[in-house]
Amino acid sequence: MDEIGNLRNEIKKSANPQKAKILQKFFKTGKGQYGEGDIFIGLVVPESRKISKKYPNLTFKEILILLSSRIHEERLICLLILVDKFKKATQNEQEKIFHFYIKHAKKINNWDLVDLSAPNILGTYLLGTQDRQILYKLARSDNIWKKRISIIATLTFIRNTQFDDTLRLAEILIFDNNDLIHKAVGWMLREVGKRDEILLEQFLEKYCRIMPRTTLRYAIEKFSKKKRKNFLKMKNLV
């Protein structure tokens, strides 16, 4: 059996039908929902990580086959493999992984897939560069997952006290109408605020009245009760 066959066989052996039913609901796979058509077989992330560690030598062609699968765990595992490859890669190899990731961004099509890969590949690759226009291109696309990738990738910048791109992307994305984007933007703003509360306050004073309530609530989560109340008042939520 080939590597993909071995990997898929191992995934099937770990399948948990009861857990799969829970995950199908949690990740909104019903008709008209953001995860419509996504198929879960019931693996949790630690199980997926354990399997991914056994297949470090998958080729780009093999990873693309898995990334094109309708089975969520297959897509997740191949992205975990790609993240591990990136960590160990040379600069030239990292560049290839970066371009592969961008080219197939539409296939990274659920929020956990984005959150576990975008900071570790896209964010890390762009951390040492000046040209980050790809993030703005993704943010202005008509694809929800590309938009989420753009803002979540900046978590790596935030962890390195680089906040400008997060705030500029937030300015673009606060007008989006999807709740998954509202939550992602709010989460990244909160991460900025954990490191520079004054900077976040300045941003919110400018935008809190027009940003979605979900974004605001996520962003102010770590503020004092008094500060939270003040911003909610500005938004007419109290």
Return the pLDDT at 234.
83
**Structure tokens that stand for 60 in this block:** 């780009």
Using only C-alpha atoms, the chain has a radius of gyration, in whole angstroms, of 19
pTM beyond 0.85: yes
Residues 22 and 213: their CA atoms lie apart, in Å, by: 28
Tell the residue number behind the tokens 């962003």, with chain if given.
Answer: 219
Residue 110 backbone zone (phi > 0: left; psi -120 to 50: alpha; other: beta)? beta
Q: How confident is the model at residue 12 (pLDDT cuts 50, 70, 90)?
A: very high
Q: How far is CA 19 from CA 37, 76, 115, in A?
A: 17, 16, 21
pLDDT tens-digit map of 27-79: 999 888 899 889 999 999 999 999 999 999 999 999 999 999 999 999 999 99
Return the pLDDT at 130.
87
pLDDT tens-digit map of 75-130: 999 999 999 999 999 999 999 999 999 999 999 999 999 999 999 999 999 998 98
Return the C-alpha torsion angle 68, 73, 76, 80, nearest 10: -120
Confidence check: pLDDT of 1 > 60: no
Q: How confident is the model at residue 233 (pLDDT cuts 50, 70, 90)?
A: confident
Highest mean pLDDT among 27-31, 203-207, 232-236: 203-207
